[in-house]
Structure 1
Amino acid sequence: MCEESAMPKTILIAAFEGWNDASQAATNVVRHLVSRYESQEVRHIDNEGFYDYQVARPMICSVQGRKRIIWPQTTFYDIAVSPMLHLLAQIAPEPNYRWEEYCRQTLRVAEDYDVSDVITLGSMFDECPHTRPLPLDISKSGCECESDREYNGPVGIPNILDAFAAEAGFPTTSIWVSVPHYYANTECMQGTLELLRALSLIIEYPLIEGDLTRKAMQWRSDADGLVSDMHAGDYLARLEHDYDLDARAKRIASNGMPACEELLREAESLLRNGV
């Protein structure tokens, strides 16, 4: 076996706190991986010039009786998933300024570690039911997902980094999960689990789920209680109906155009019955 083929493969994964991280579903993927594998901090990006401290505020904490200021910063972890696969995991608050320079610095780190691929993670609030699999959107270099083709509007740093990385010649993948907007004030462990499983498929390696499955079940149970307390059963039923109808439409469309007539008849029947 030649020396080159024996070198471990390194993939950059990036997740950013803030607007791109609904219910912390994306950044918790990085935190989970750091806690489950042999990991070490390897690089940082200097925070000066990238953050508005009235938005991304510094934190103060006590360490061994002495107060310490923790500034918002970008951290890179080397995560040894296997002897032949490492993840260079980037986690940071979304920067407020100089996004182009920030992305250039990120890609310089990627080049230093001979990264082969760049994967960005994100989560967004949406009208989706917690009782169904959370919607995932996955886009690869030169292959847009349906939501990419339909979306027009503001984007966050994961989208910009993805574009810069593709322009620099890196194969890129963007993975986003939608989480219920009505359950916004808690960490969405189901979203984290969905992202982790999608990441496993993209990198073609089964990542350790650990206690995420249990935490996701607890999240769904807590969401059931919230809906009950809010007397929002009718609203949840509408979301489930819309989700199921959309899922069926996609299945029928994938089987060819003639099958769309069946969907049209079903939709007309639902409208006539006032559903």
Structure 2
Amino acid sequence: MTGPVLIAAFEGWNDACQAATNVIRHLVGRYESREVRHINCDGYYDYQVSRPMMCHAAGYANLIWPQTTFYDIALDDVRHIYAQIAPEPNYRWRQYCSESLAIAEELDVNQIITLGSMFSDCPHTRPLPLSVSDGACQCEGDREYNGPVGIPTVLDASAADQGFAHASMWVSIPQYLGSDECAAGTMRLLRALGERIGFSFDTGDLQAKADHWKAQASVLVRCNDQLGDYVSHLEREYDLKCKADDEASPGAPQAEQLVKEAEDFLRHIGD
């Protein structure tokens, strides 16, 4: 697909260990970027939840209020993408999404990709689980989710209603490691995003940070026998699921053998 893409990520409930919003921070930091649009914070935020920040610079005190920022990110001389980053709004989600999509329309965006990260029961010693949905098609991850949703899902649904091409990407983060930043999760989303839009992103120091995150996690596990047993259990579950997925995939020898045996059985019924 040609034309600009809008990548959206939101701080808060949808952003375990900041893995999703750090994708946008990384892109803004690694490529030539400029702010092109904003959404005013008034009416969308509870300031006792998303508090303004005090910033001192050049001898002056400034209040920084929560807001939505849209960036134009130049990937090379001919290609650019847009990115939207904000704290998750507290109020008026429908109107917020309408305002976001109006800006996307102004920028001639033809595809919207929302990013998210969530805590899950998964081991840090394996590739972090990634779920990618494209409209009604669940491209990775084999379970449809039913339950509470955040603003990325609402924005994705609103984009579909307005005729935008759309997709969402979620990475799972080991819940036993707490809330420190997870560069491995950011790397997982960044690579999936690159595959989606057909571009190889500059990962900078993300791989080194991801390796450090994994090494720290391994030290923590080695120092706690109970946690070590739990992670070993998660590893076995992860490996068994991968094996089952491989065996059930179309064209796998085991799957073909099962189909053949079923067909033979059905042919001989009543003989």
Q: TM-score, normalised by structure 1?
A: 0.88
3-state SS of the aligned residue for 1:213?
Answer: helix
Of 81, 87, 92 in structure 2, the residue corresponding to residue 87 of structure 1 is: 81
CA distance in 2, matches of 1:156, 1:59: 24
Counterpart for residue 73 of structure 1: 67
Counterpart for residue 5 of structure 1: none
Number of aligned residue pairs: 256
Of 123, 134, 138 in structure 2, the residue corresponding to residue 140 of structure 1 is: 134
Shift of 1:229: 2.7
CA distance in 1, matches of 2:111, 2:38: 20
Mean alpha-carbon deviation: is it higher for 220-229 or for 254-263? 254-263
CA distance in 2, matches of 1:11, 1:215: 27
Of 208, 233, 242 in structure 1, the residue corresponding to residue 237 of structure 2 is: 242
The answer to whether structure 1 residue 178 and structure 2 residue 172 are counterparts is: yes
CA-based RMSD: 1.9
Counterpart for residue 130 of structure 1: 124
Q: Which runs of 5+ in 2 are unaligned?
A: 259-271
Alignment of 1:162-201 (within 5 A): 162-201=156-195
Alpha-carbon spacing, 1:109–1:240, altered in 2? closer, same or farther (3 Å)? same
Counterpart for residue 263 of structure 2: none
The answer to whether structure 1 residue 46 and structure 2 residue 40 are counterparts is: yes
Corresponding letter in the other structure for 1:106: S
CA distance in 2, matches of 1:86, 1:177: 24
Corresponding letter in the other structure for 1:119: I
CA distance in 1, matches of 2:216, 2:110: 40
CA distance in 1, matches of 2:124, 2:71: 32
Q: TM-score, normalised by structure 2?
A: 0.90
Of 222, 225, 242 in structure 1, the residue corresponding to residue 219 of structure 2 is: 225
Q: Which runs of 5+ in 1 are unaligned?
A: 1-7, 264-275
Q: Is the 8 A contact 1:9 1:84 kept in 2?
A: no
CA distance in 2, matches of 1:262, 1:72: 58
Shift of 1:141: 2.1
CA distance in 1, matches of 2:152, 2:142: 14
Counterpart for residue 253 of structure 1: 248
- Identity percentage over the alignment? 58
Corresponding letter in the other structure for 2:87: P
Alpha-carbon spacing, 1:76–1:164, altered in 2? closer, same or farther (3 Å)? same
CA distance in 1, matches of 2:166, 2:19: 20
Q: Is the 8 A contact 1:22 1:184 kept in 2?
A: no
Of 8, 24, 29 in structure 2, the residue corresponding to residue 14 of structure 1 is: 8
The answer to whether structure 1 residue 32 and structure 2 residue 26 are counterparts is: yes
CA distance in 1, matches of 2:72, 2:256: 52
The answer to whether structure 1 residue 159 and structure 2 residue 131 are counterparts is: no
CA distance in 2, matches of 1:116, 1:46: 24
The answer to whether structure 1 residue 104 and structure 2 residue 107 are counterparts is: no
CA distance in 2, matches of 1:93, 1:262: 51
Deviations 1:192-212 (A, max 9, x none): 000000000000111111111
Alpha-carbon spacing, 1:142–1:151, altered in 2? closer, same or farther (3 Å)? closer
CA distance in 2, matches of 1:99, 1:148: 28
Q: Is the 8 A contact 2:112 2:164 kept in 1?
A: yes
